[in-house]
Structure 1
Amino acid sequence: MSLRTLAATCGTVLLAQFAVSPAALAASAPGHWVTAWATALQPIPQQPNLPPLYRAPNVAGRTVRQIVYPTLSGSAVRLHVSNEYGDAPLVIQELRIARSTGGAAVQGNGGARATFDGNASVIVPPGGALDSDPVAIDVVAGAPYAISSYMGAEQRLVAWHRVSNQVNYVSLPGNHASDALSGTFGQRFTQFAWVTGLAVDVPSAATVAAIGDSITDGMRSSLNENRRWPDAFSRRLVRAGDGSTAVVNLGISGNRLLNDSPCYGDALAKRFGRDVLEHPGVKTAILLIGINDINFSSTPARAGLDCDLPHTSVTAADLVAGYERVIADAHRHGVRVFGATLTPAALPPQRESIRLAVNQWVRTSKALDGVADFDAALRDPAQPDHLRCTYDSGDHIHPSDAGYAAMADAIPLEAVVNSTRK
């Protein structure tokens, strides 16, 4: 995967100057590229009087510095840049990656520069995506790296990954991609933008993609601490002596299996191809989705921005049909799917019956390649429809850091690792 669908604007002279053909990119990047960090984008609602939660920072002519944690070590990387949901070309005038030393500070002079077909600048048309040329830099699994992008003078932020649980930074106006110190990076934000993947050249490695909603995204886990369940599972692999299995988090808070949302991105059944199958090295997916499909039918309609639209009712059969479509798509591409049971959410009886029916199918279906029984790991034995108190972050839906760790421990490690080696 070196170049995704390019919009018709690629026909212009300006965009053609920067476009990279698949053949040229493949020739410039031999090796075994495996995704070691990734995130999934969602559109930012475009309407007046947005709540502060959905107001994007001003990035025009500024440098955006984002902190990521690769889950594989290596000596060369490629950065994946996406203009998904863009309504105008994405212009990056300089892109660098460096080891983070805390906050917005980095080692050296901004680290190593990424190029695109040899060019320091790149223009990605609306709907397009590009991989950088290979960048020579030593990366250590689990260590923080800063990706700095100096943006075009007219650049707007129209898509992001909204719940990063990671503080990122926007500079004062100008090119500060090479700044080692943090002084010019005065604005903080907790989203990811544009850079949606980091691949490492590692022979014999493979990637496990965690995909789902806010419980995979790590909602209410500790800021800047990497306490989501995919993080905990990655650490569990390392403790087991496995340094060749990456884990990437493609959850989106509020996401649903069957319906798009104004705020929470495309339905998982729709985005699975883009967000999982197009990442190099993915051999296994762990799928946790459906609680928002069950709940949003009962949330009250809101004037103005209603993120829960459409308020569609679903049955267990509807969700199973959606799972089966995702599984079939994955299997066509040689990717195995482990299904995760839906975790307790203190639901009223009618909705709880749907959750229980879905979990019964996940546990017994022969359509899946394996099961991660998160429900059994988190439920209160005295109240099985509730989270165990020590695993509850306080809202009775999202786990605490301890709960996310318990989820990671519930994944059948040997079975998942074996699924990436077949």
Structure 2
Amino acid sequence: MFTTAWTASPQPPSTGFTPNWSQEGFWRHSLRQAVRLTAGGDRVRIRLSNVYGTSPLRIAGATLARTALAGTALGAAVQPGSVRRLTFDGASSAEIPARAEIVGDAAGLPVEAGESVTVTLYLDAVTGPATFHAQAFATSYRGAGDLLADTAGADFGEATESWYFLSGVDVSAGRTDGVALFGDSVTDGFGSTPGANRRWSDALAARTGRPVLNAGIGGNLLLNDSAWYGEKGVHRLARDVLGQAGVDTLVVLLGLNDIGFSETDDQPTYRPAPRVEVGELIAGHRELIRQARARRIRVVGATLLPFGGSDHWGERAAKVSHELNDWIRRSGEYDAVADLHRALAGTGGTGGSDALCAAYDFGDHLHPNDAGYEVMAEVVAAVLRPRVRRGWARSSPRP
């Protein structure tokens, strides 16, 4: 039985992020991407996405290998002897219809949790704009021609910090205790050290030993679609979380952009959002809970992080965020609560401040740094850890 060990939530092609190749796409290119697994097994398969493509996507070939030097200047290198040719329904090539995704055949490659694997795609036909994940905080590589069997990596002469087409990696772990983190740029890992796997999803996997899936998208909204930041949370949950193999628990940290993007009338035009009331946000959270429970998935509600002093902050943002956090803490509608606001607040965890603790602040008063992400993982790990044989730990009691 397969367990999803890594994911990246698909986004529409966009030029609105650091330089990426999503709009121009690929032609006669090899694309090499390294990802870190949170579960191990003897067999590995990949998922490729063309959900935002407007024409069929041809995959001329694909390989899987153990990553050799991820995060270095020669990060495109893979371990010699580990390269495995991938197939799709027994064929070495595949065509993915527009607005669809495919799952490849399993390849024999023993891997362990915490190990990085490298997926290389050869794209011999014009792809058109590419379905991608904008903010990978990891390096992907592109080279001319068929480099599927290349191990040294020197011919991959271009690099970017986005992932393309690759949306999931499954392993033959047979585990059903996976944890999916569903959120925006905080879950995506903005503010963590690029190339170092220091997102809070990485920290949580290390602390718990469980498969942890990162379903964050920078800028994502709970209630509204965005041409840059993807489909709204209440719509994308089914694809990005509920369709993954082995997920037992969902952690929801979403809604801050709905509040912050609508705080003032002079927000940049690339990120407008209608003004929301707390009742609308609560309805959105309830919809996520409903969808997850329909799949027998337990749901943890995480309070919004402190963001006082950031470009999302203002009088109205303060009011709505406080109301939403109070509902998450006190309503009893989530199976458990992770009070991240109190843990990362500027007064050292007492909850008396609306600003991030300086020691945890990336610098924009909105996103944590590596240390802040470690604290988030610690809080959620404690909530996931049962204190009694039946039931769940809570970071704050029901009223």
* TM-score normalised by the chain length of structure 1: 0.85
For the residue of structure 1 that corresponds to 2:276, the secondary structure is coil
For the residue of structure 1 that corresponds to 2:293, the secondary structure is helix
Which residue in the other structure is 2:52 paired with? 85
Q: Gaps (5+ residues) in structure 1? A: 1-31, 239-244
Which residue in the other structure is 2:296 paired with? 334
What amino acid maps onto 1:146 in structure 2? T
Q: CA deviation at 1:158?
A: 2.7
Which residue in the other structure is 1:319 paired with? 281
For the residue of structure 2 that corresponds to 1:266, the secondary structure is coil
Q: Distance in 2 between matches of 1:109 and 1:155?
A: 30
Q: CA deviation at 1:393?
A: 0.5
Q: Distance in 2 between matches of 1:338 and 1:43?
A: 28
For the residue of structure 2 that corresponds to 1:350, the secondary structure is helix
What amino acid maps onto 2:214 in structure 1? N
What amino acid maps onto 2:41 in structure 1? G
Q: Distance in 2 between matches of 1:86 and 1:218?
A: 26
Which residue in the other structure is 1:372 paired with? 338
What amino acid maps onto 1:366 in structure 2? G
For the residue of structure 2 that corresponds to 1:322, the secondary structure is helix
Question: Which residues of 2 match residues 293-308 of structure 1 at below 5 A?
Answer: 293-298=258-263, 306-308=269-271
8 Å CA contact 1:110, 1:179 repeated in 2: no
Match of 2:327 among 361, 384, 391: 361
Q: Distance in 2 between matches of 1:351 and 1:344?
A: 11
Superposed CA deviations along residues 127-170 of structure 1, whole A, max 9, x for unmatched, are 11111111111112111111000013211343211000001101
8 Å CA contact 2:249, 2:298 repeated in 1: yes
8 Å CA contact 1:148, 1:177 repeated in 2: yes
Q: Gaps (5+ residues) in structure 2? A: 70-74, 393-399
Question: Which residues of 2 match residues 264-283 of structure 1 at below 5 A?
Answer: 264-283=229-248
Q: CA deviation at 1:300?
A: 5.2
Which residue in the other structure is 2:363 paired with? 394
8 Å CA contact 1:110, 1:180 repeated in 2: no
Are positions 1:214 and 2:214 aligned together?
no
Question: Which residues of 2 match residues 98-117 of structure 1 at below 5 A?
Answer: 98-102=65-69, 103-108=75-80, 111-117=83-89
Structure 1 residues 275 and 187, CA gap change in structure 2 (3 angstroms): same
Which residue in the other structure is 2:165 paired with? 194
Q: CA deviation at 1:413?
A: 3.5
Q: Distance in 2 between matches of 1:236 and 1:96?
A: 31
Choose 148-157 or 85-94, whichever is displaced more. Answer: 148-157
Identity %, equivalent residues: 34
What amino acid maps onto 1:209 in structure 2? A
Q: Distance in 2 between matches of 1:265 and 1:144?
A: 27
Are positions 1:290 and 2:255 aligned together?
yes
Structure 1 residues 420 and 146, CA gap change in structure 2 (3 angstroms): farther
Superposed CA deviations along residues 259-284 of structure 1, whole A, max 9, x for unmatched, are 01110000011100000001111111
8 Å CA contact 1:34, 1:206 repeated in 2: no
Q: CA deviation at 1:229?
A: 0.7
For the residue of structure 1 that corresponds to 2:222, the secondary structure is coil
Superposed CA deviations along residues 81-126 of structure 1, whole A, max 9, x for unmatched, are 1111110111111111100111000012661111111001000001
Q: Distance in 1 between matches of 2:77 and 2:242?
A: 34
Q: Distance in 1 between matches of 2:321 and 2:292?
A: 23
Q: CA deviation at 1:320?
A: 0.4
Superposed CA deviations along residues 283-318 of structure 1, whole A, max 9, x for unmatched, are 111110011000111355688xx4313x30001111
For the residue of structure 2 that corresponds to 1:326, the secondary structure is helix
For the residue of structure 2 that corresponds to 1:271, the secondary structure is helix
Structure 1 residues 200 and 54, CA gap change in structure 2 (3 angstroms): closer
Match of 1:148 among 120, 124, 134: 120
Q: Distance in 2 between matches of 1:380 and 1:93?
A: 52
For the residue of structure 1 that corresponds to 2:141, the secondary structure is strand
Q: CA deviation at 1:206?
A: 2.6
Which residue in the other structure is 1:177 paired with? 148
Question: Which residues of 2 match residues 118-267 of structure 1 at below 5 A?
Answer: 118-171=90-143, 173-238=144-209, 245-267=210-232
Match of 1:349 among 287, 293, 315: 315
Structure 1 residues 375 and 315, CA gap change in structure 2 (3 angstroms): same
Match of 1:72 among 15, 36, 39: 39
* TM-score normalised by the chain length of structure 2: 0.90
Q: CA deviation at 1:345?
A: 0.6
Choose 56-65 or 135-144, whichever is displaced more. Answer: 56-65
Q: Distance in 1 between matches of 2:374 and 2:390?
A: 22
Structure 1 residues 300 and 207, CA gap change in structure 2 (3 angstroms): same
Superposed CA deviations along residues 182-205 of structure 1, whole A, max 9, x for unmatched, are 111010011111111111112344
Which residue in the other structure is 2:395 paired with? none
Structure 1 residues 80 and 177, CA gap change in structure 2 (3 angstroms): same
Q: Distance in 2 between matches of 1:356 and 1:414?
A: 21
What amino acid maps onto 2:323 in structure 1? A
What amino acid maps onto 2:100 in structure 1? G
Normalized per residue, which structure has more helix? 1
Q: CA deviation at 1:355?
A: 0.7
TM-align CA RMSD: 2.1
Which residue in the other structure is 2:375 paired with? 406
For the residue of structure 1 that corresponds to 2:251, the secondary structure is strand
Structure 1 residues 197 and 292, CA gap change in structure 2 (3 angstroms): same
